[in-house]
Amino acid sequence: MDSMVILRMRYLGDSLLLVPTLRKLLLAYPGIFLTVVVNRGTEYPLKNLSGIRVVVFDNRSFWGKLKSSYDMVRLARERKWDLWVDWTVSDRSRLFSRLADASRKLSCGWKKDERPSSQNSIYVPVDFNHGPDPVMNQYESSLRKIGVHLSATSDPLVSSSASSRMEIETWRKENRLDQETPILLIHPGGREWYKRWPPDRLAQVGNWWSKVHKGVVVIIGTREDQTLILSVTSGFQPETRFLIVQESIPFIHALMESSTLFLGNDSGPLHLADAAGLYGVGLFGSTTPAVWGPVSTGRLLTLYDPPACSPCSHEGCSQGVDNCLRRIEVNQVIEGLSRQLKLREKHLKEVSLS
């Protein structure tokens, strides 16, 4: 196989979870012309992978979608592709796949949308909500249906750039943070309100970190998260030292590499923390970590106490203040962070002795 296109036009976490599979493909097919299509704002982790052409679909405006759709039609007819893979599961990606000139096509989607397979087009039902397999395993299982077999393991780590690491050094100096200062990164955001652990509970964890570990709490998020961030910081004790960082993804990535622990909901930054090699705790409610959990084993502990309705279709939540994330208590998170801190210290000691 000499050429391949993969469509995964979703979110940042989806791009990060794709990294191990892409590395396996490059290893299995040296010299392959591999093109990956992702949405604007989610391309960062893939741009650091050598041997991959990244095509960005601009889904943020009408004109952006129009221009990107034209570019996608050109891509579909650019050459006779050996394999065209659609892992996006959307009407738009299905249209582009139908237009593609490819020797073989692999499409994935819900069981209820299943269409008859043909000689060169195979449809594989997947369930990215209920699994039960991790999403990465579902990717690779679908590839096996068309005879593409990949190695068993791959590293999810992605390194930040040297320029971003230099920015972090400057940031540390400006905020008087030496290398020994323990940093707890907290990401309070989530795509939907019911995918966010309550801000007052995040504040309680931050107060614990400051009091017990004499550390600094760093809240990360976007400009759109401003109200949510303020809801967290309003619960801090006067003696709790905290900083707010609303910077680019490369900056956040480098910051994660130099931090102590991470705490956040199931979202892109959780998987970015995994890619940065950061230890910590991920909070799951409407999604299951069995499918959407971190790729690495051990570094990030996932907490999940599902009600009968989880995992759900993410079309809203009728549970209100009794939603699934509220089932996770503060003491559970503190115990989890304490456990991960010990694992981190053990790992650093082993590295220093090796």
Q: Which of 36-50, 119-133, 309-323 has the highest mean pLDDT?
A: 36-50
Global pTM reads 0.92
Provide the CATH number for the domain around residue 135: 3.40.50.2000
Q: Decide which of 118 and 38 is more confident.
A: 38
Domain that residue 226 falls in: 162-353
Sign of CA dihedral 202, 208, 213, 214: positive
Q: Is the pLDDT of residue 298 over 80?
A: yes
Q: C-alpha 326: how far from its chain's center?
A: 22
Q: Reduced to 3 states, what is the DSSP secondary structure of residue 44?
A: helix
pLDDT the model gives residue 193: 76
- Predicted pLDDT at 125: 82
The dihedrals phi and psi of 262, each to the nearest 5 degrees, come to -125, 145
Whole-angstrom CA distances from 5 to 50, 115, 204, 333, 340 are 16, 21, 46, 41, 38
Longest dimension (CA), the chain: 67
**pLDDT band at residue 326, thresholds of 50, 70 and 90?**
confident
Are residues 203 and 322 located together in one domain of the fold? yes
* Secondary structure percentages of the chain, helix, strand, coil, to 5: 45, 20, 40
User: End of a domain among 144, 178, 196?
Assistant: 144
Question: Is 191 in the same domain as 115?
Answer: no
Ranges 85-89, 109-113, 334-338, 343-347: which has the least confidence? 109-113
Last residue of a domain, one of 117, 144, 171: 144
pLDDT at 2 over 80: yes
Inside any domain, residue 149: no
Quote the CA–CA distance of 298 and 147 in Å, as a whole number.
Answer: 32
Please give the tally of structural domains in the chain.
2
Q: Mean pLDDT over residues 9-26, rounded?
A: 94
pLDDT at 197 over 90: yes
**Residue 157: inside a domain:** no
Report pLDDT digits (tens) over 227-285: 999 999 999 999 999 999 999 999 999 999 999 999 999 999 999 999 999 999 999 98
Given this model, what pLDDT does residue 177 score? 94
Q: Are residues 196 and 233 in the same domain?
A: yes
194 or 292, greater pLDDT: 292
Residues 137 and 178 in one domain: no
Span 215-230, pLDDT tens digits: 999 999 998 899 999 9
Domain match, 95 and 172 both: no
The pLDDT, as a whole number, for residue 325 is 86
CA distances from 150 to 23, 24, 136, 274, 327 (A): 10, 6, 12, 22, 38
Say whether both 245 and 349 belong to one domain: yes
Query: How does residue 321 score in pLDDT terms, banded at 50, 70 and 90?
Result: low
Average pLDDT for the chain: 91
Answer yes or no: is 216 within a domain.
yes
Q: What is the pLDDT of residue 154?
A: 72
What are the pLDDT digits (tens) for 42-76? 999 998 888 999 999 999 999 999 999 999 999 99
Which contiguous run of DSSP H or E holds residue 31?
none
CB atoms within 10 A of CB 353: 6
| Position 132 in a domain | yes
- Provide the pLDDT for residue 143: 94
Q: How confident is the model at residue 7 (pLDDT cuts 50, 70, 90)?
A: very high
Q: Which residue has the higher pLDDT, 309 or 49?
A: 49
Question: What pLDDT is attached to residue 109?
Answer: 79
Considering the domain architecture, whether residues 195 and 222 belong to the same structural domain is answered as yes
